[in-house]
């Protein structure tokens, strides 16, 4: 279907020069693995389809090493491999211990602490506004993080 005129290695991937490919760059290059699978399938890959390298080698573009996945399937696959960064926290307001994804806590947002609920966040903020940062408040904030860990599809590993 597509005739490969030239192979160029750039970064982690190989690119190929292909005349008249609808998804080519301005200079006429397309990712090698996409062209290999398009030739194998006999059709263009759709915009929501990605090519996954089964052995993890991004320059190994043999047909048997390539798999077509949707963007969602591919993200889920790599998410399970890398795991989710999680944090076990103790609410500074009510002392309940709860778990959140790290990116949903004060560790990745401009804040000093994370509460278990919007109601507790409001109550604790009001306490700070009315009474200031007392020793009790500082103690609650310093005890906010219990532990950090990585979750691998219902398994966890403490950091």
Per-residue pLDDT in tens (0 to 9) along the chain, 159 residues: 899 999 999 999 999 999 999 999 999 999 999 999 999 999 999 999 999 999 999 999 999 999 999 998 998 887 766 778 899 999 999 999 999 999 999 998 889 999 999 999 999 999 999 999 999 999 999 999 999 988 876 555 555
What is the model's pTM? 0.56
Q: What is the pLDDT of residue 45?
A: 96
Q: What gap in Å lies between CA 158 and CA 135, rounded to an integer?
A: 30
Residue in 91, 84, 144 with CA at minimum distance from that of residue 117: 91
Q: What is the pLDDT of residue 78?
A: 79
Query: In a 3-state reduction of DSSP, which class is residue 126?
Result: helix
Q: What is the pLDDT of residue 92?
A: 97
Q: What is the pLDDT of residue 153?
A: 63
**Burial letters 114-147, b for 16+ CB under 10 A, else e:** bbbeeebbeebeebbeeeeeeeebeebbeebbee
Q: What is the pLDDT of residue 67?
A: 96
Locate 16 and state its tokens. Answer: 């190929």
């Amino acid at each position: 279907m597509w005739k490969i005129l030239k192979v160029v290695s750039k970064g982690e991937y190989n690119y190929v020069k292909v005349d008249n490919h609808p998804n080519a760059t301005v200079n006429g290059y397309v990712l090698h693995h996409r062209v290999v699978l398009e030739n194998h399938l006999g059709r263009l890959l759709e915009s929501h389809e990605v090519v996954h390298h089964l052995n993890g080698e991004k320059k190994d573009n043999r047909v048997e090493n390539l798999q077509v996945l949707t963007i969602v399937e591919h993200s889920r696959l790599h998410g399970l491999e890398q795991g989710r960064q999680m944090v076990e926290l103790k609410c500074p307001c009510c002392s309940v211990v709860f778990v959140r994804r790290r990116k949903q806590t004060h560790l990745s947002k401009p804040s000093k602490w994370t509460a278990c609920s919007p109601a507790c966040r409001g109550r604790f903020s009001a306490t700070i506004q009315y009474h200031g940062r007392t020793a009790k408040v500082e103690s609650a904030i310093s005890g906010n993080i219990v532990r950090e860990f990585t979750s691998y599809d219902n398994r966890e590993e403490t950091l």
